[in-house]
C-alpha cells in the first residue's frame, strides 16, 4: 500500500495551480485535505503524474460572508466551517449536516471543496449544496465560471469540472427567512458512509427534499406545498425513482423505506423549525 | 465439591496494580516490529495476490519486474517449492499446503509472487509489472454447496471437498431421542468474522548460508507447535530455525498465529537473496488474506422432556476452513469437543463433524476459537426449547444447569469441568443484575408499542487447551499409529542477578494483555518483594529461552498456565533461598519467612538478612552453598496431568480449566431503521481466582466489544464468484467506543483445583456468550425463530417494514441482481441508421474511438476483439486488457457482447445485449448488461461499483453518439437514460 511515483507540486498561488493543471490535465490530482486522495494514492487506485497541493495558497483559505452568498474557499477545512460562529445563523442546514461528515479527525483535515470535488454519492456536503442551490466556482488559466450544484454532480464521483479547472470556492445562499431546515442520516456506525442521508427545506409554499446515498448522485425534488397522504405519495414516487440498489450494507428495498420514513421525519422536523 | 487450593499470602495478587506496560505504550515508546531498526542492506518484500477465487495459473511473466532497478528477486511458486517443503496438514489426506500458489489459486488474496526490492515502494512498482495468465475455474464459496458431488473440487487429491468426516456417539442418544417428549431443532449459518488486531503481521527474516540456519523476527503469537511446522517447511532442524518475537505486539486475538506461512515465505526470500528481508502486511492484505474464524453450518437437535430438561443432543457441524487446511486447523472444530453440552447436564450426545474446503481464505485462530460457533447453536436451541414448549427461558436454563456439588464434572464428550457452582452464579446474576427489573422494562416498552426483547445465555469458557484435542479428528486407529499427543507445557524462569535482583522470563508472548505486570505480582508475593523489584521479560527467542510446543498466547492460558508456572519457579528458588537463610539465621528452613524485602526467622523479625544479599550469595560465594542448593536460575516446565489424550471412545478433556458465564441483556429495535440498541447487558463470570481485577475487567470488556462486532456489524463477505467484498474498514465494520455500551460485570470466584494459583482463563468468554445473547434478545423482540449474524439493520428491517408499495407502472421492475452481479439497462438515440451503427460496432477503428480509454483494438476475427483500455471513474484510473467476443449476431438489429476485462485494480466478466431499432431520426440503441466484478475494486469499493459501471457505459454511449455526429439531448436525456431523478 505505497503510492506509485508522482511529482509533488506545492502551489503558492492560484496561478501556479492553474499552470500545473494546464500542463498535466487529467494526469494531475489536486490535493487539499487529502482524506480521500491519500488512501486512494496508497491503494494505487489513482496514479497521477502530479499531485498539486493547494493548501499553501493563502487566497483559498477564507470564508467570505460579505455578499449575498457565503463563499467558502477551497482551502477551508470542514472543521473550520463547522466552527465558524455564524454558521447556525447563515447556513443551518450545513450546521446540522457537517457533524455527520466522517469523524472529528477527518474533518480537521478534509476540506469542504474537496468533498465537492470527489462527489461521493453518499457525501453530505454535495447533498446540502444541491438542496441549497449552491454553485461551484471553477477557474483555470482560460477563465472563471460558476456551475449550479444541480449541473455539477453528473455521476458517481464524476463532475462537470474540466480537467484543467480548479474548484476555487463554493457559493452557498444564506438562509431564507421563513424557511425551515433539517438533516438526518443513517449509516451503520457514526461517521460511516451514509446508507441514506436526507435534507429538507420547508417554506410556506414548498417542500424541498434531497437524498444522498441512494442514487449515483445526490437527488433533489420539490414537492410543492404538500402534506399528509399527498406527501407520502410524493415520497413513495421519489423513493422508486431513485433506482436504489442492493449492496453489502443494505438492500434497495431498505433504502426506499428509509427515504419514505426518514424523509417524512426530516420534512416534519424542517416544518417545525420554521417556527 | 471443589478442593480448596493453597494460595500464597496474597499481597499484590488480587489488586489492580498499575501496569508496567502502560508507560511505554501511552507515551509512544512501544517497540513494535515495524519500529525496530533493521540491518543495513535489508530488503523489503511485497506480495502479488490472486484476484480470482479459483483459477489455473497458465503463465507468470516476471522478467520486466526482475529488470526494474532495485529489485533483488521475484519468487513464484516454482522457486518457493524448490527451496521449501509443503506445510504439514493436520488431517490424513493426500493434499499439500504451500504458503504461495503453486500452479493454481484457490482464494482471492492467495500469494502468487513475492517481489524483494530495495524499498516497499519499488517492490510494489514491480508487482505492477508482473503478468499472470489465469484460466478461471468454477468457484464454490458455500460449505454446503461444496459437498455437492457436482461442485468444483479444490484439491484433486481428495476427490471431493470433504477433507474429514467423523461420527461420534456418547451415551445412548438414539434411545433418548426415541423416548423424549419433544424434539427441538435449530439450523445455524455462522458467518466468518475476525478480531482484526490494530497491528498487522510483520517479519524480518535472515538466512545464514554458512550454517544453513534461519533467524526470523516476527510478531507471531504461538502456538509454538507451529515452530515445528515452519522448520520442516524450511527443511532445517528446529535448532536451525531461530524464531524471535519483538518486545511489543499490537494485539492478536489469535489472528497472529496466521503469520506463520509468511514466515516460511520470507525465510525463502531471505535465502534466495542472501539478504535480510522485511515484510509488513498492509490492511488490505490483512483483511483479505490473514486468518479469520471459520464459518460453520450447524444443525442441532435436542431430545427434550415435557419439563424442558434436555436428554440428548445431536450435532451436525459443517466446518468451512477455506481453501487449505492450514495448521492447526481443523482445530476450531475440535477445541470445543469436550464442551458440546455447554453448561448443562446432558449425558447423551451424537456428533457428525465434517470439514469442508471452499474458495475462501484459509481460517485460523481467532478469539473464542470454536466457542462462538458452538454456543450460537446451543443457546439458540435453549431459547427455542423455551418458546416451543411455552416455558420460561430462565427456567429452561435453570433445569438443565450442571447441579451444584458435582464438580469436578466429567461431560459426556470427555471434558473434566474443574470447578464451579453454576446454579449459584446463575441465581446471583439474576438477583444482582436486576433480571426482574429488566422484565418490567420489557413489559413497559411493549405496552408503549416499542420493539424490545430479552436474551439469556449460559456458557462454559474453556481455557488452557490440551495440545492433544486436535487428534480427536483422527480415528482411534490413526491415533494409535501416530502416538499419543496431549498436555500443555507452560514454562517460566526466575533468575537472581549478582545484585540480588529478580528477573522473570516466560514464553507467553503477550500481545498487549499485561502479562509482565501480573507475573511481577505473582513472583513478588512469593518472594516477599514489591512488583517493581521484579523485572519481567516476555519477548521470546527460541534459540535461548525455555519454551515448548504449547508456548504462546492463546486459549486464554496465561493466568492459569504461565502464571502458575511462574509461581512454581519462584517457589523453587524460594525453597533454596530458605535453606540458605536457615543456615545463616540458625533456624529450620520451614521457619524462614520472606516479607518486605527481608528474609527472617518466623517470630523473630530481627533475626533477618536483606533479600538482595541472600539472593546474591550463589554468585559471590558459591563455596558457601552446596551445589544442589545454588540459587541462580530456576526454570519450571509445568503440564497438568488432567490433560490426557483422547480415549479410545473419543472422549477428550479438550481444556484444563472451565470458567462459567451467565449473560442476559435487553435490546430495543428502532422501528424505522431496524438498528439494535443494547439497552442493558449483564455478564456474570466465574473465572476462578482473580489476580488483577482491572485486567479481568479489561478482558471481559474487550471480548464483549469484539462480540458486539460479531453480533451486529462484522462479516468477511464473499460474492458468489468468490470475490472478497470487505477489504477496508469502511466495509468490514468494527464497532468503535461509540457503538459499544459498557456491560455490567459480576463475579463469583471458585478457584480451579488444577492450577497452581487457582486461576482460569477469562479472555474469550464473551466472544462465546455475547453474540448469541444479543441474537436471542433480537429474536425475542421480533418473535422470530431463525436469525443469523450479523444482525444488520437491513436484515432486521425485513421483519418489521412489512409489504412495500407497488412500483409505479411507468417504471420497469427493479433490476435487483443476485449476489454482487451488476445489472443495468438503458437506451440512447443516434442520428444514423442502424446499418451504420452496426458497422461501427464491428469496426476496430470505430471501437477504438468509442470504447472509453481504448489504446488499441486488435481484431482477432470478425467476432473477436482485444483491446487495451484505460478506464476512469472519477479519480480512479486503471489500465485493463479487454477481450470481447460477439455472438447472436442479427445484422443489423441485435448483437451480444461477452467480455473479460483484467487489470491490476480488478477484473470483470459480463455480457451485454445491444438492440438497434430504426426510428425517424436515426437509430434507437437499447442495451442491457450484467457483469461480475472482482479483484481489488470489489474488495474496497463495493458500494460504488454499480455507479462506476454506469459511468463507463455512459462514456461508451456518449462517444458513440459523438462518433455518429449525433447530439445527446441536453438536459434530462442522460438523466432518464441512467435513472437519475433529475
Q: Taking the CA atoms of B693, B699, B702 and B708 in sequence, report the sign of the dihedral they define.
A: negative
pLDDT of residue B413: 98
pLDDT of residue B147: 98
Mean pLDDT of chain A: 96
Q: Kindly report, residue by residue over B885-901, the tens digit of the pLDDT.
A: 989 999 889 999 888 88
Cα–Cα separations (whole angstroms), residue B667 to B564, B664, B769, B778, B801:
40, 10, 15, 7, 18
DSSP B590-644: GGEEEETTEEEETTEEEEEEEHHHHHHHHHH-GGGS-GGG--SEEEEEE--TT-P
- Check if the beta carbon of residue B514 is closer than 8 Å to that of residue B655: no
Strand blocks (E) in B193-339: 202-208, 213-218, 241-244, 277-280, 295-304, 310-320
B591: contact with A, CB 8 A cutoff? no
Distance, in Å, from the CA atom of B393 to the CA atom of B374, rounded to the nearest integer, reads 19
A1: contact with B, CB 8 A cutoff? yes
Res B285 pLDDT > 50: yes
Q: Kindly report, residue by residue over B643-664, the tens digit of the pLDDT.
A: 999 999 999 999 999 999 999 9
Specify the pairing of strand A63-64 against strand A135-140: unpaired
Q: Kindly report, residue by residue over A205-257, the tens digit of the pLDDT.
A: 999 999 999 999 999 999 999 999 999 999 999 999 998 988 889 999 999 99
Q: Kindly report, residue by residue over B651-708, the tens digit of the pLDDT.
A: 999 999 999 999 999 999 999 999 999 999 999 999 999 999 999 999 999 999 999 9
Nearest CA among B567, B525, B563, B746 for reference residue B657: B563
CB contact under 8 A, A3 and B739: no
B132 Cβ contact partners less than 8 Å away, ≥ 6 residues apart: B48, B57, B59, B60, B61, B112, B113
In chain A, residues with a C-beta closer than 8 Å to the C-beta of B675 are 186
B731: contact with A, CB 8 A cutoff? yes
A58: contact with B, CB 8 A cutoff? no
By Cβ distance, the residue of B674, B905, B942 closest to A248 is B942
pLDDT band at B813 (very low <50, low <70, confident <90, very high): low
CB contact under 8 A, B794 and A157: no
Average pLDDT over residues B742-757: 98
**Between residues A244 and A111, the one the model is more confident about:** A111
pLDDT of residue B908: 84
CB contacts under 8 A, B 634-693 vs A, are 672-675
CB contact under 8 A, B674 and A254: yes
- Check if the beta carbon of residue B860 is closer than 8 Å to that of residue B866: yes
pLDDT of residue B842: 83
Does the predicted TM-score (pTM) go above 0.90? yes
In chain A, residues with a C-beta closer than 8 Å to the C-beta of B672 are 257-258, 261-262, 265
Show the CA angle centred on residue B477, arms to residues B474 and B482, nearest 5°.
70
**Between residues B465 and B874, the one the model is more confident about:** B465
By Cβ distance, the residue of B675, B713, B876 closest to A46 is B876
Q: Kindly report, residue by residue over B375-389, the tens digit of the pLDDT.
A: 999 999 999 999 999
pLDDT of residue B818: 45
* A261 → chain B, closest CA residue: B672
Percent of chain B residues topping a pLDDT of 90? 80
Cα–Cα separations (whole angstroms), residue A16 to A20, A48, A166, A181:
6, 18, 11, 39
By Cβ distance, the residue of B735, B804, B978 closest to A253 is B804
Q: State how far Cα B5 lies from the chain centre.
A: 36
Percent of chain B residues topping a pLDDT of 70? 96
* A120 → chain B, closest CA residue: B944
Q: What is the dihedral of CA A54, A55, A56, A58, to 10 degrees?
A: 100
B interface test, pick of A28, A158, A260 with most B CB neighbours within 10 Å: A158
pLDDT of residue B4: 40
Phi/psi for B904 (5° steps) reads -65, -30
B929's enclosing H/E stretch is strand B922-934
Res B266 pLDDT > 50: yes
Q: A114 CA to chain B: closest CA distance, Å?
A: 12
Res A93 pLDDT > 70: yes
Q: How many CB contacts within 8 angstroms connect chain A with chain B?
A: 160
* A217 → chain B, closest CA residue: B980
Q: What is the dihedral of CA B318, B322, B325, B330, to 10 degrees?
A: -40
- Check if the beta carbon of residue A133 is closer than 8 Å to that of residue A102: no
Distance, in Å, from the CA atom of B701 to the CA atom of B678, rounded to the nearest integer, reads 14
pLDDT of residue B932: 83
Mean pLDDT of chain B: 93
Distance, in Å, from the CA atom of B895 to the CA atom of B887, rounded to the nearest integer, reads 6
Q: A71 CA to chain B: closest CA distance, Å?
A: 25
DSSP tally for chain B: helices H, then strands E: 26, 35
Res B213 pLDDT > 50: yes
Res A265 pLDDT > 80: yes
pLDDT band at B977 (very low <50, low <70, confident <90, very high): very low
Q: A223 CA to chain B: closest CA distance, Å?
A: 13
pLDDT of residue B967: 53
In chain A, residues with a C-beta closer than 8 Å to the C-beta of B284 are 1, 43
**Between residues B845 and B145, the one the model is more confident about:** B145
By Cβ distance, the residue of A192, A247, A252 closest to B814 is A252
CB contacts under 8 A, B 91-150 vs A, are 120-121, 124-125, 128
Res B552 pLDDT > 90: yes
pLDDT of residue B3: 43
pLDDT of residue A107: 98
Question: How does B658-682 read in b/e, with b if 16+ C-beta sit within 10 Å?
Answer: bbbbbbbbbbbbbebbbbbebbbbb
CB contact under 8 A, A44 and B905: yes
Whether residue B330 has a cis bond before it, omega within 30° of 0 = yes
CB contacts under 8 A, B 355-394 vs A, are none
By Cβ distance, the residue of B801, B940, B943 closest to A193 is B943
Res B370 pLDDT > 60: yes
Q: Kindly report, residue by residue over B1-24, the tens digit of the pLDDT.
A: 344 444 445 599 999 999 999 999
CB contact under 8 A, B283 and A1: yes
In chain A, residues with a C-beta closer than 8 Å to the C-beta of B948 are 156-157
B735: contact with A, CB 8 A cutoff? yes
In chain A, residues with a C-beta closer than 8 Å to the C-beta of B282 are 1
Q: Which of A251-260, B847-856, B932-941 ranks highest by mean pLDDT?
A: A251-260
pLDDT band at B90 (very low <50, low <70, confident <90, very high): confident
Distance, in Å, from the CA atom of B253 to the CA atom of B320, rounded to the nearest integer, reads 20
B810: contact with A, CB 8 A cutoff? no
Three-state secondary structure call for residue B776: helix
pLDDT band at B911 (very low <50, low <70, confident <90, very high): confident
Q: Kindly report, residue by residue over B295-341, the tens digit of the pLDDT.
A: 999 999 999 999 999 999 999 999 999 999 999 999 999 999 999 99
A44: contact with B, CB 8 A cutoff? yes
Q: Kindly report, residue by residue over A153-204, the tens digit of the pLDDT.
A: 998 899 999 999 999 999 999 999 999 999 999 999 988 999 999 999 999 9
CB contacts under 8 A, B 254-313 vs A, are 282-284
Which runs of consecutive H residues, i.e. helices, occur in B861-944? 936-940
pLDDT band at B912 (very low <50, low <70, confident <90, very high): confident
CB contact under 8 A, A40 and B875: yes
Res B817 pLDDT > 50: no
In chain A, residues with a C-beta closer than 8 Å to the C-beta of B718 are none
**Between residues A38 and B822, the one the model is more confident about:** A38
DSSP A136-175: EEEEETTEEEEEEHHHHEEETTEES--TT-EEEEEEEEPP
pLDDT of residue B7: 42
pLDDT of residue B6: 43
CB contacts under 8 A, B 404-423 vs A, are none
Res A264 pLDDT > 50: yes
pLDDT of residue B928: 86
B117's enclosing H/E stretch is strand B111-117
Distance, in Å, from the CA atom of B805 to the CA atom of A265, rounded to the nearest integer, reads 19
Q: B709 CA to chain A: closest CA distance, Å?
A: 11
Average pLDDT over residues B24-40: 96
B69: contact with A, CB 8 A cutoff? no
C-alpha cell at B548: 515448548
Distance, in Å, from the CA atom of B390 to the CA atom of B306, rounded to the nearest integer, reads 10
pLDDT of residue A27: 93
A6: contact with B, CB 8 A cutoff? no
In chain B, residues with a C-beta closer than 8 Å to the C-beta of A232 are none
pLDDT of residue B812: 55
pLDDT of residue B811: 60
pLDDT band at B816 (very low <50, low <70, confident <90, very high): very low
Distance, in Å, from the CA atom of B462 to the CA atom of B556, rounded to the nearest integer, reads 8
Amino acid at each position: 500500500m505505497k503510492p506509485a511515483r508522482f511529482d509533488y507540486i506545492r502551489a503558492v498561488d492560484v496561478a501556479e495551480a492553474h499552470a500545473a493543471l494546464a500542463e498535466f490535465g487529467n494526469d494531475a490530482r489536486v490535493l487539499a485535505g487529502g482524506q480521500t486522495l491519500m488512501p486512494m494514492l496508497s491503494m494505487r487506485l489513482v496514479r497521477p503524474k502530479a499531485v498539486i497541493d493547494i493548501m499553501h495558497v493563502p487566497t483559498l483559505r477564507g470564508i467570505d460572508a460579505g455578499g449575498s452568498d457565503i463563499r467558502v474557499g477551497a482551502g477551508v477545512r470542514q472543521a473550520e466551517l463547522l466552527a465558524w460562529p455564524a454558521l447556525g445563523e447563515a447556513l443551518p442546514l450545513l450546521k446540522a449536516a457537517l457533524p455527520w461528515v466522517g469523524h472529528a479527525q477527518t474533518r480537521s483535515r478534509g476540506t469542504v471543496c474537496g468533498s465537492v470535488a470527489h462527489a461521493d454519492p453518499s457525501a453530505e456536503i454535495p447533498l446540502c449544496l444541491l438542496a441549497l442551490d449552491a454553485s461551484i466556482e471553477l477557474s483555470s488559466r482560460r477563465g472563471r465560471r460558476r456551475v449550479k450544484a444541480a449541473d455539477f454532480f453528473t455521476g458517481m464521483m464524476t463532475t462537470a469540472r474540466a480537467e484543467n479547472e480548479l474548484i476555487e470556492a463554493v457559493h452557498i445562499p444564506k438562509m431564507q427567512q421563513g424557511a425551515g431546515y433539517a438533516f438526518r442520516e443513517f449509516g451503520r456506525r457514526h461517521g460511516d458512509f451514509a446508507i441514506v442521508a436526507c435534507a429538507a427545506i420547508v417554506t410556506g409554499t414548498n417542500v424541498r427534499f434531497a437524498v444522498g446515498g441512494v442514487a449515483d448522485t445526490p437527488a433533489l425534488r420539490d414537492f410543492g406545498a404538500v402534506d399528509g397522504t399527498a406527501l407520502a405519495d410524493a415520497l413513495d414516487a421519489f423513493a422508486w425513482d431513485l433506482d436504489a440498489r442492493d449492496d453489502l450494507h443494505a438492500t434497495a428495498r431498505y433504502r426506499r423505506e428509509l427515504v419514505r420514513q426518514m424523509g417524512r421525519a426530516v420534512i416534519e422536523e424542517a416544518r417545525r423549525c420554521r417556527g | 465439591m471443589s478442593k480448596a487450593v493453597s494460595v500464597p499470602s496474597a499481597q499484590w495478587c488480587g489488586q489492580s496494580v498499575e501496569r508496567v506496560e502502560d508507560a511505554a505504550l501511552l507515551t509512544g515508546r512501544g517497540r513494535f516490529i515495524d519500529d525496530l531498526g533493521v540491518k543495513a542492506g535489508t530488503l523489503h518484500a511485497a506480495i502479488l495476490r490472486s484476484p480470482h477465487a479459483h483459477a489455473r495459473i497458465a503463465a507468470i511473466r516476471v522478467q520486466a519486474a526482475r529488470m526494474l532497478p532495485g529489485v533483488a528477486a521475484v519468487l513464484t511458486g516454482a522457486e518457493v517449492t524448490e527451496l521449501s517443503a509443503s506445510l504439514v496438514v493436520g488431517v490424513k489426506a493426500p493434499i499439500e499446503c504451500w504458503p504461495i500458489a503453486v500452479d493454481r489459486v484457490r482464494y482471492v488474496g492467495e500469494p502468487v509472487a513475492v517481489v524483494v526490492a530495495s524499498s516497499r515502494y519499488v517492490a510494489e512498482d514491480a508487482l505492477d509489472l508482473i503478468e499472470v495468465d489465469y484460466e478461471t475455474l468454477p468457484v464454490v464459496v458455500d460449505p454446503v454447496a461444496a459437498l455437492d458431488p457436482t461442485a468444483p473440487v479444490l484439491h484433486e487429491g481428495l476427490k471431493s471437498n470433504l477433507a474429514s468426516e467423523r461420527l461420534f456417539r456418547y451415551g445412548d442418544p438414539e434411545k433418548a431421542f426415541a423416548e423424549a417428549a419433544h424434539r427441538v431443532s435449530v439450523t445455524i449459518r455462522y458467518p466468518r468474522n475476525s478480531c482484526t488486531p490494530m497491528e498487522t503481521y510483520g517479519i524480518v527474516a535472515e538466512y545464514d548460508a554458512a550454517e544453513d540456519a534461519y533467524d526470523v523476527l516476527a510478531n507471531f503469537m504461538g502456538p509454538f507447535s507451529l515452530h515445528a511446522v515452519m522448520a520442516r517447511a524450511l527443511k532445517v532442524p528446529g535448532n536451525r530455525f531461530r524464531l524471535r518475537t519483538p518486545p511489543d505486539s499490537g494485539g492478536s486475538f489469535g489472528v497472529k498465529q496466521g503469520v506463520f506461512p509468511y514466515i516460511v515465505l520470507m525465510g525463502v526470500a531471505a535465502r534466495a537473496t542472501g539478504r535480510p528481508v522485511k515484510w509488513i502486511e498492509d490492511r488490505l492484505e490483512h483483511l483479505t488474506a490473514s486468518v479469520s474464524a471459520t464459518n460453520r453450518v450447524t444443525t442441532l437437535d435436542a431430545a427434550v422432556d415435557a419439563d424442558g430438561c434436555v436428554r440428548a443432543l445431536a450435532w451436525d457441524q459443517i466446518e468451512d476452513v477455506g481453501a487449505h487446511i492450514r495448521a492447526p486447523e481443523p482445530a476450531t472444530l475440535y477445541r470445543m469437543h469436550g464442551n458440546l453440552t455447554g453448561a448443562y447436564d446432558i449425558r447423551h450426545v451424537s456428533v457428525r463433524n465434517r470439514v469442508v474446503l471452499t474458495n475462501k481464505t484459509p481460517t485460523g485462530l481467532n478469539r473464542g476459537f470454536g466457542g462462538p460457533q458452538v454456543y450460537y447453536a446451543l443457546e439458540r436451541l435453549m431459547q427455542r426449547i423455551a418458546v416451543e414448549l411455552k416455558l420460561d427461558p430462565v427456567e429452561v436454563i435453570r433445569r438443565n444447569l450442571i447441579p451444584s456439588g458435582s464438580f469436578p464434572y466429567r461431560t459426556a464428550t470427555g471434558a473434566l469441568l474443574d470447578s464451579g457452582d453454576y446454579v449459584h452464579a446463575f441465581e446471583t446474576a439474576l438477583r444482582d443484575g436486576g433480571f426482574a427489573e429488566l422484565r418490567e422494562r420489557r413489559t413497559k416498552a411493549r405496552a408503549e408499542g416499542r420493539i424490545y426483547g430479552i436474551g439469556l445465555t449460559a456458557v462454559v469458557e474453556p481455557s488452557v487447551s490440551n495440545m492433544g484435542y486436535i487428534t480427536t479428528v483422527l480415528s482411534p486407529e490413526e491415533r494409535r499409529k501416530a502416538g499419543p499427543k496431549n498436555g500443555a507445557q507452560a514454562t517460566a524462569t526466575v533468575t537472581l542477578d549478582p545484585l540480588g535482583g529478580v528477573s522473570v522470563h516466560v514464553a507467553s508472548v503477550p500481545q498487549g494483555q499485561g502479562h509482565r505486570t501480573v507475573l511481577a505480582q505473582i513472583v513478588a508475593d512469593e518472594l516477599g518483594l514489591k512488583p517493581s523489584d521484579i523485572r519481567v521479560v516476555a519477548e521470546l527467542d527460541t534459540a535461548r529461552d525455555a519454551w515448548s510446543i504449547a508456548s504462546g498466547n492463546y486459549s486464554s492460558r496465561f493466568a492459569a498456565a504461565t502464571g502458575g508456572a511462574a509461581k512454581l519457579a519462584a517457589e523453587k528458588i524460594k525453597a533454596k533461598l530458605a535453606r540458605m537463610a536457615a543456615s545463616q539465621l540458625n533456624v529450620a528452613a520451614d521457619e524462614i519467612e520472606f516479607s518486605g524485602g527481608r528474609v527472617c526467622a518466623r517470630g523473630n523479625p530481627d533475626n533477618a538478612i536483606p533479600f538482595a544479599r541472600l539472593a546474591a550469595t550463589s554468585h559471590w560465594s558459591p563455596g558457601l552453598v552446596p551445589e544442589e542448593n545454588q540459587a541462580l536460575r530456576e526454570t519450571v516446565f509445568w503440564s497438568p496431568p488432567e490433560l490426557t489424550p483422547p480415549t479410545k471412545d473419543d472422549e477428550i478433556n479438550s481444556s484444563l480449566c472451565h470458567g462459567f458465564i451467565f449473560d442476559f441483556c435487553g435490546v430495543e429495535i428502532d422501528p424505522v431503521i431496524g438498528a439494535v440498541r443494547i439497552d442493558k447487558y449483564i455478564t456474570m463470570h466465574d473465572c476462578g481466582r482473580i489476580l488483577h481485577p482491572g485486567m479481568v475487567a479489561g478482558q471481559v470488556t474487550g471480548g464483549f466489544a469484539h462480540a458486539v462486532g460479531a453480533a451486529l456489524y462484522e462479516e468477511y463477505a464473499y460474492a458468489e464468484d468468490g470475490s472478497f467484498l470487505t477489504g477496508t474498514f469502511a466495509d468490514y465494520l468494527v464497532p468503535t467506543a461509540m457503538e459499544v455500551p459498557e456491560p455490567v460485570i459480576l463475579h463469583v470466584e471458585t478457584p480451579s483445583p488444577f492450577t497452581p494459583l487457582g486461576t482460569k482463563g477469562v479472555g474469550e468468554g464473551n466472544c462465546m456468550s455475547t453474540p448469541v445473547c444479543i441474537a436471542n434478545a433480537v429474536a425475542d423482540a421480533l418473535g422470530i425463530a431463525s436469525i443469523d449474524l450479523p444482525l444488520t439493520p437491513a436484515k432486521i428491517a425485513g421483519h418489521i417494514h412489512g409489504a412495500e408499495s407497488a412500483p409505479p407502472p411507468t417504471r420497469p421492475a427493479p433490476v435487483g441482481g443476485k449476489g454482487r452481479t451488476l445489472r443495468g439497462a438503458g437506451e440512447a438515440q443516434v442520428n444514423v441508421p442502424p446499418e451504420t451503427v452496426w458497422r461501427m460496432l464491428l469496426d476496430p477503428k470505430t471501437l477504438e474511438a468509442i470504447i472509453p480509454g481504448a489504446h488499441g483494438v486488435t481484431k482477432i476475427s470478425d467476432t473477436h476483439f482485444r483491446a487495451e483500455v484505460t478506464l476512469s471513474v472519477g479519480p480512479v484510473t486503471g489500465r485493463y486488457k479487454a477481450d470481447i467476443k460477439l455472438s447472436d449476431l442479427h445484422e443489423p438489429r441485435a448483437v451480444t457482447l461477452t467480455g473479460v476485462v483484467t487489470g491490476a485494480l480488478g477484473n470483470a466478466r459480463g455480457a451485454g445485449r445491444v438492440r438497434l431499432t430504426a426510428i425517424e431520426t436515426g437509430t434507437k440503441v437499447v442495451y442491457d448488461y450484467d457483469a461480475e466484478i472482482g479483484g481489488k475494486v470489489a474488495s474496497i469499493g463495493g458500494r460504488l461499483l454499480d455507479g462506476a459501471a454506469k459511468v463507463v457505459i455512459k462514456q461508451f454511449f456518449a462517444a458513440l453518439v459523438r462518433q455518429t455526429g449525433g447530439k445527446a439531448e441536453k438536459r434530462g436525456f442522460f438523466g432518464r437514460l441512467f435513472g437519475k431523478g433529475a
